[in-house]
């Protein structure tokens, strides 16, 4: 997986910082997560191929997470897109986009599918042969979801030397990759583990923004590889965090610790802070593996 | 008048160019004209004081002229604005903005007044003691207006030496500034022109974008100081200009010539052209006083 942070600051876009947007690349699929104003310019700056984006996930309808969506939908048309585009987000997102297309008398050249979300339980919103995406219901001032992106396990890799040494015919290779044991002509059973190598472990990534500290998400993100969790504030502004239903860096770290994730990535910093290193320092008092998102930063895992 | 070009390129925002937006400063008033995506960042880059913008004029509901509006409306709230904001634009603009505020459950702290336009005749949309703004109905693919900004003439300036030489009492000064002649105690009539200097001539500026070549606007912009007229294309793409209801640089120059304006400013360039100097060269074959808008350029007149 490759995660490109297009923007990770709260509230308004500024000269050198951008509101929330990320590109997650999994097995040659590009998923766009949230889409603050200016996201399409950030895509250009980060040399992301527009045409490879087929699925856009919007956490909630606060402007710093979706005001750039209508611009991208329109730009796709100007770029001559013909591939389907799927948008996943709260109820109302379809009305906002279609109203603007209608008033501009500028319909898309491509098919636009809206998957409006309203459940308060985690649900599968996307699935193909390689990837599955589930919602992570969050607690914020308006209806909000995080998203859990999970690779499906690859098939087992054929140990070609072992297979040949047993003189197994090619027509059985697919069964072996699928994990099956093999019965030889002389009746011997060869266990699959002797004929294959373990595949690269499937990875998973959770995006959780915006949310107040909420332990109910822990069971949904247990043991995952990377958790992006919002940390709008430091504990010194803890009261403000609770009032606005955001989290502090310390609270994000507690969630990471309880969920036993491998890596915590912090983001959605309030623009009041000049030095984002303070977020890392605060979180590291609770949880050791902390990285800071910043606009243009790329994580590979 | 001081005109700051925040963006002047057609269609999509790009890494180094911005869609249409301008700030016109007249007698300490700031008028925002059109508001493509990213306008609020361009305001910051050009060090324009957000709090001084009280009136926003939107020509039409194509995205490159208004997708930045909802972001500015929201940012004003985050900045703690309390002053009224007036938005002038086509019918539908109110529904778009209010729908997004409602779904975000984020109403403004300040009063937001929409002045929805639907007339096909020129009308006064704003007037105070110093400035008057009228629509310039344009012909484009959807309902579109340009805007004519006119300073009202200043009062005449008192020639204090002349006034004293006639021993005129101060209580008459206001009448003299208002252009009145004075009758002295001995019955002599002193003409106003002997007691005053001419004021600085009132200036006017017309913004015309987007539009196909349309001579009917000439009578509305006759003899004005500065005309910003769109030139999306060069004549080499004239067929495309007519098909998409845009103008070429040559057509913009013909309008400037027919209207006898003092200065033509070109803008709204298609991003297909790498060298915008070609627009100036084409227009100058018709009309001598041509300037090129570009992002960040300031005109004072």
Please give the pLDDT value at position A256. Answer: 98
Q: How many CA atoms lie within 13 A of B216 on its CB side?
A: 11
Tell me the residue range of the domain where B182 lies. Answer: 157-197
B14 and B147, same domain (yes or no): yes
A135 and A241, same domain (yes or no): yes
Q: pLDDT (tens digit, 9 = 90+) per residue, B14-25? A: 999 999 999 999
B243 and B265, same domain (yes or no): yes
- We report the CATH number of the domain holding residue B216 as 3.60.15.10
Nearest residue to A34 (alpha-carbon basis) of A93, A82, A79, A84: A93
Please give the pLDDT value at position B95. Answer: 98
Inter-chain Cβ pairs, chain A and chain B, closer than 8 A = 98
B77 and B186, same domain (yes or no): no
B20 and B114, same domain (yes or no): yes
B110-137: average pLDDT: 98
Domain edge (last residue) among B197, B223, B249: B197
Q: How many CA atoms lie within 13 A of B73 on its CB side?
A: 31
A45 and A119, same domain (yes or no): yes
Query: Residues B226, B259: contact at Cβ < 8 Å?
Result: no
> What is the pLDDT of chain B when averaged over all its residues?
97
Q: Which of A117-131, A157-171, A227-241, A245-259 has the lowest mean pLDDT?
A: A157-171
A98 touches chain B (CB under 8 A): no
Handedness of CA B211, B217, B221, B223 (dihedral sign): positive
- How many Å lie between the alpha carbon of A64 and the closest alpha carbon of chain B? 8
Is A142 close to B105, i.e. CB distance below 8 A? yes
Number of domains chain B contains: 2
Model confidence band, residue A137 (pLDDT cutoffs 50, 70, 90): very high
Domain edge (last residue) among B197, B225, B251: B197
B161-169: average pLDDT: 93
B85 and B142, same domain (yes or no): yes
B286-290: average pLDDT: 98
pTM: 0.93
A239 touches chain B (CB under 8 A): no
Of the candidates A34, A64, A210, A295, the residue annotated as catalytic is A64
A140 and A261, same domain (yes or no): yes
Is A67 close to B71, i.e. CB distance below 8 A? yes
Q: pLDDT (tens digit, 9 = 90+) per residue, A114-125? A: 999 999 999 999
A142 touches chain B (CB under 8 A): yes
Out of B37, B40, B63, whose CB is closest to A12?
B40
Is B45 close to A70, i.e. CB distance below 8 A? no
B109 and B186, same domain (yes or no): no
Model confidence band, residue A152 (pLDDT cutoffs 50, 70, 90): very high
Please give the pLDDT value at position B106. Answer: 94
Residue A121 annotated in active site: no
Distance CA A57, CA A148 (A): 11
Report the residue of chain A nearest B70, measured CA to CA: A67
Is B62 close to A92, i.e. CB distance below 8 A? no
Report the residue of chain B nearest A98, measured CA to CA: B96
A272 touches chain B (CB under 8 A): no
Peptide bond before A85: cis, by omega within 30 degrees of 0?
Answer: no
Q: Take residue B36 and report the two structure tokens written for it.
A: 């493509």
Please give the pLDDT value at position B44. Answer: 97
- How many Å lie between the alpha carbon of A101 and the closest alpha carbon of chain B? 9
Q: Take residue A39 and report the two structure tokens written for it.
A: 């996201």
A161 and A293, same domain (yes or no): no
Please give the pLDDT value at position B105. Answer: 95
Please give the pLDDT value at position B163. Answer: 94
Q: pLDDT (tens digit, 9 = 90+) per residue, A73-82? A: 999 999 999 9
A222 and A293, same domain (yes or no): yes
Please give the pLDDT value at position B42. Answer: 98
Please give the pLDDT value at position B161. Answer: 94
Please give the pLDDT value at position B256. Answer: 98
A84 and A55, same domain (yes or no): yes
Identify the H or E element spanning A43: helix A39-45
Helix (H, G, I), strand (E, B) or coil at A222: coil
Please give the pLDDT value at position B22. Answer: 98
Residue B229, CA distances (Å) to B150, B244, B252, B290 in order: 17, 16, 6, 11
Domain edge (last residue) among A137, A170, A197: A197
Please give the pLDDT value at position A171. Answer: 93
Distance between start and end Cα atoms, chain A: 5
**Would you tell me which residues 12-31 of chain B have a C-beta closer than 8 angstroms to some C-beta of chain A?**
12-15
Q: pLDDT (tens digit, 9 = 90+) per residue, B42-65? A: 999 999 999 999 999 999 999 999
Please give the pLDDT value at position A215. Answer: 98
Is B142 close to A104, i.e. CB distance below 8 A? yes
- Phi and psi torsions of B145, nearest 5°: -125, 140
């Amino acid at each position: 997986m490759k995660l490109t942070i297009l923007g990770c600051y709260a509230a308004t876009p500024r000269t050198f910082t951008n509101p929330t947007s990320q590109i997650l690349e999994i097995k040659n699929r590009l998923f766009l997560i949230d889409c603050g104003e200016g996201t399409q310019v950030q895509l250009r700056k980060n040399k992301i191929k527009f045409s490879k984006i087929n699925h856009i996930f919007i956490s909630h309808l606060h402007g710093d997470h979706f005001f750039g969506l209508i611009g991208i939908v329109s730009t796709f048309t100007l770029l001559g897109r013909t591939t389907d585009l799927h948008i996943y987000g709260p109820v109302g997102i379809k009305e906002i986009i279609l109203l603007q297309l209608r008033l501009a008398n500028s319909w898309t050249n491509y098919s636009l599918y809206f998957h409006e979300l309203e459940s308060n339980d985690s649900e599968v919103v996307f699935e193909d042969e390689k990837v599955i995406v589930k919602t992570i219901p969050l607690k914020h001032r308006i209806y909000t979801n995080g998203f859990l992106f999970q690779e499906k396990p690859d098939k087992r890799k054929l140990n070609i030397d072992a297979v040949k040494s047993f003189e197994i015919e090619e027509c059985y290779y697919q069964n072996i990759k699928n994990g099956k044991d093999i019965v030889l002509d002389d009746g011997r059973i060869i266990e699959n583990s002797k004929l294959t190598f373990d595949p690269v472990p499937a990875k998973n990534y959770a995006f959780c923004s915006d949310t107040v500290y909420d332990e109910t998400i822990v069971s949904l993100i247990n043991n995952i590889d990377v958790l992006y969790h919002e940390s709008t504030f430091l504990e010194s502004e803890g009261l403000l965090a609770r009032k606005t239903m955001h989290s502090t860096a310390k609270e994000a770290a507690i969630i990471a610790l309880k969920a036993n994730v491998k890596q915590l990535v912090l983001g959605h910093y309030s623009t009041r802070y000049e030095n984002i290193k303070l977020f890392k320092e605060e979180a590291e008092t609770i949880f050791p593996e902390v990285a800071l998102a910043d606009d243009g930063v790329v994580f590979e895992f």
